Structure 1
Amino acid sequence: MYDDGIIISAISLKRIMKSLLILTDFSEAAFRAAEYACGIAPLLQVDRFILYHAYQTYVGGTEIPIIEDSHEVYLASMESLGLQHDRLSTLAGPGVKIEMMAREGLLTDTIAAYAEQENIAAIVMGVSGKSGLEALLLGSVTAEILKTSTVPVLVVPGDALVGRPVKTVVFATDLKDVNHLSAARLDDFLGAFKAQLYIVNVGGETDEKYRPETFEAITDLHRLLEKYNPTFGYISRDDVVDGILSYAKERQASMIISVPKKHGGFSALFHKSISKKLAYNSNVPLLFLPGLE
């Protein structure tokens, strides 16, 4: 199911795992995500942060739309980025270079291409407990980034513990994503964290647990990840989010990993609403790995 094209050399790994793109809207939730990134940077051999802010000069939603001066908005954005830079410098340490980027446009329209252009190891973004329309809009941004990104996306909840070692990782899968799994990318992070790995197969209460293709997928995953001595589990819940979070909580997980689909939106497990609910209900970081085309 996997070919040699997925395997990358140690030299290539070092080149890839170098830069983190940290999205910020200057909120404390965004800064929390940046703080978390400082803690894992040495493990990932990261020596470069890019603080990225997308701004708009057209403000709608009023009777008369407001068009702000683009240069003034840019200068204000760079000033705010500078304040975040200063706050992060001590936390990141002297070995990490922090760059700043402010660009006009919708975040979801610009971020995927920029991340690929800059050879980013992962996009880091924060999320805080919201409600109503604000949660809907922010959740939609998160879902759109997950759908379009060709690099891993790390979503850090506002109440995630900063500085906590990544000791236990839960890889949540419906086993339909195995064909799309980038073995190299998963290995990048698991190898860096050296954490206890739990693989949990998530299914609905009416799903068949022991279909032949299920055994085949489990066998392939075990072969792929055997060096991490994974523990396999199965949960049967119609409320997928509750099932994943309960399983992760019982095992004191430091991080949850999943693989969104590229074709036809997300899989039945990790479609937009599920991903959004995970992000807004989890108190541990969520790492979304892009699937293979």
Structure 2
Amino acid sequence: MKTMLILTDFSENAFRAAEYGAQIADPLHIQRIILYHAYQTVVMGTDLPVSSTKESQQIYLEGMENLALVQDRIKPMVPHIPIELMAEDISLPAHIKDFCKHQGIDILVMGVSGRSGLERLLLGSTSSLMIAEARVPVLVVPKDTPLAKPMTSIVFATDLKDHSSVPVHQLYEFLDAFPVDVQVLNIAKEKDEKYDVETKEAITNLHNIFEKYNATFDYVREDDIVEGILDYSNRHHASLLMVVPQERGFIASLFHNSISKKLAYNANIPLLSLPPGATC
């Protein structure tokens, strides 16, 4: 990986995400960090853009000043990595895919801070929309994520659907950067040996993907899925929860309804979403 994009709304929760991103930059071989603030100037109480160029420019300058403060905060953590500051008058979710492509973004880092923070930054959207639109790995960092704590375990949750779409190259970048215990958590009704041919193929493929990492394979029940994933992650002292929200299956459903919010807001460990079918 080369370029990390860190979104911020200047809240303390966003600062935590920026600090966490800086903390993992070296293991991921990041060579460039972009601190980014998206805003959209509107007339209060309406959806109309601000007509005053002067007012819009003032908002931009304030944004750049605040970005500089964030830069000062994380620079000691990555003294050798250049940090660029960008503030734009834009609705970010609708443009994030093109932005990531144009800037060569390899990973996007964002915090979770509710309507008073990140959701205001994204003009009412949620982290699930960013995950769907960005088409790059998206790391969602909860507000209580501890810093300066070694990574000890990674949980990769999968529902065995579209297993061939797992972005192996990006997956391996993370697993190689953080050589810790890996648990592959299969989301199923129960552990059942009477699998159909497709499911057996998926399991075999997953074993092949994780073979060199000596991963442990386990199961969680379909009902109460979020609690099951979080409980499993906590019991195994996971430092990172990884998912691939593909087009069908349980994992996809997490990012198309309120369950995704529940997962993001209730998790006390970072959530990494890898884009399905991504290439190296």
What TM-score, normalized by structure 2, do the two folds share? 0.88
Q: Residue 104 of structure 1: CA displacement?
A: 0.9
**Shift in CA distance, 270/71, structure 1 to aligned 2, threshold 3 Å:** closer
The residue type paired with residue 75 of structure 1 is L
Matches within 5 A, 1:256-271: 256-261=241-246, 267-271=252-256
The residue type paired with residue 166 of structure 1 is M
Structure 1, residues 37-84: CA drift from partner, whole Å, max 9, x if none? 121111001122100011111145359986552211111111111111
Structure 1, residues 108-164: CA drift from partner, whole Å, max 9, x if none? 122221112111120000013669xx69x8883311111111110000000011122
Structure 1 counterpart of 2:65 = 79
Counterpart contact for 2:35–2:86, Cα < 8 Å: yes
Question: Aligned pair 1:276/2:276, yes or no?
Answer: no
Counterpart contact for 1:245–1:282, Cα < 8 Å: yes
Structure 2 counterpart of 1:240 = 225
**Shift in CA distance, 208/117, structure 1 to aligned 2, threshold 3 Å:** farther
**Shift in CA distance, 258/47, structure 1 to aligned 2, threshold 3 Å:** same
Counterpart contact for 2:42–2:48, Cα < 8 Å: no
Counterpart contact for 1:181–1:259, Cα < 8 Å: yes
Give the counterpart of 1:225 among 179, 204, 210.
210
Q: Residue 180 of structure 1: CA displacement?
A: 1.6
Q: Residue 208 of structure 1: CA displacement?
A: 9.2
Q: Residue 32 of structure 1: CA displacement?
A: 0.2
Counterpart contact for 1:44–1:189, Cα < 8 Å: yes
The residue type paired with residue 138 of structure 2 is V
CA distance, structure 2, for counterparts of residue 168 and residue 162 of structure 1: 15
Counterpart contact for 1:48–1:96, Cα < 8 Å: yes
Give the counterpart of 1:89 among 75, 79, 87.
75
The residue type paired with residue 74 of structure 2 is L
The residue type paired with residue 166 of structure 2 is L
CA distance, structure 1, for counterparts of residue 62 and residue 259 of structure 2: 36
Counterpart contact for 2:243–2:251, Cα < 8 Å: no
Give 3-state SS (helix, strand or coil) of 2:253's partner.
coil
Structure 1, residues 259-284: CA drift from partner, whole Å, max 9, x if none? 01258997235434332221101000
Q: How many residues align?
A: 273
Matches within 5 A, 1:174-189: 174-189=159-174
Structure 1 counterpart of 2:23 = 39
Q: Residue 212 of structure 1: CA displacement?
A: 2.9
Calculate the aligned-residue CA RMSD, in Å.
Answer: 2.8
Worse-superposed segment, 264-273 or 181-190 = 264-273
Worse-superposed segment, 72-81 or 110-119 = 110-119
Worse-superposed segment, 240-249 or 83-92 = 83-92
Give 3-state SS (helix, strand or coil) of 1:176's partner.
coil
Structure 1, residues 239-269: CA drift from partner, whole Å, max 9, x if none? 1110000010110000000001258997235
Structure 1 counterpart of 2:38 = 54
What TM-score, normalized by structure 1, do the two folds share? 0.84
CA distance, structure 1, for counterparts of residue 47 and residue 215 of structure 2: 57
Worse-superposed segment, 137-146 or 46-55 = 137-146
Q: Residue 26 of structure 1: CA displacement?
A: 0.6
CA distance, structure 2, for counterparts of residue 64 and residue 70 of structure 1: 13
The residue type paired with residue 240 of structure 1 is I
Percent identity between the aligned chains? Answer: 49
Worse-superposed segment, 188-197 or 255-264 = 255-264
CA distance, structure 2, for counterparts of residue 262 and residue 216 of structure 1: 19
Q: Which runs of 5+ in 2 are unaligned?
A: none
Structure 2 counterpart of 1:118 = 103
CA distance, structure 2, for counterparts of residue 163 and residue 281 of structure 1: 21
Q: Which runs of 5+ in 1 are unaligned?
A: 1-16
Counterpart contact for 1:196–1:230, Cα < 8 Å: yes
Question: Aligned pair 1:29/2:13, yes or no?
Answer: yes
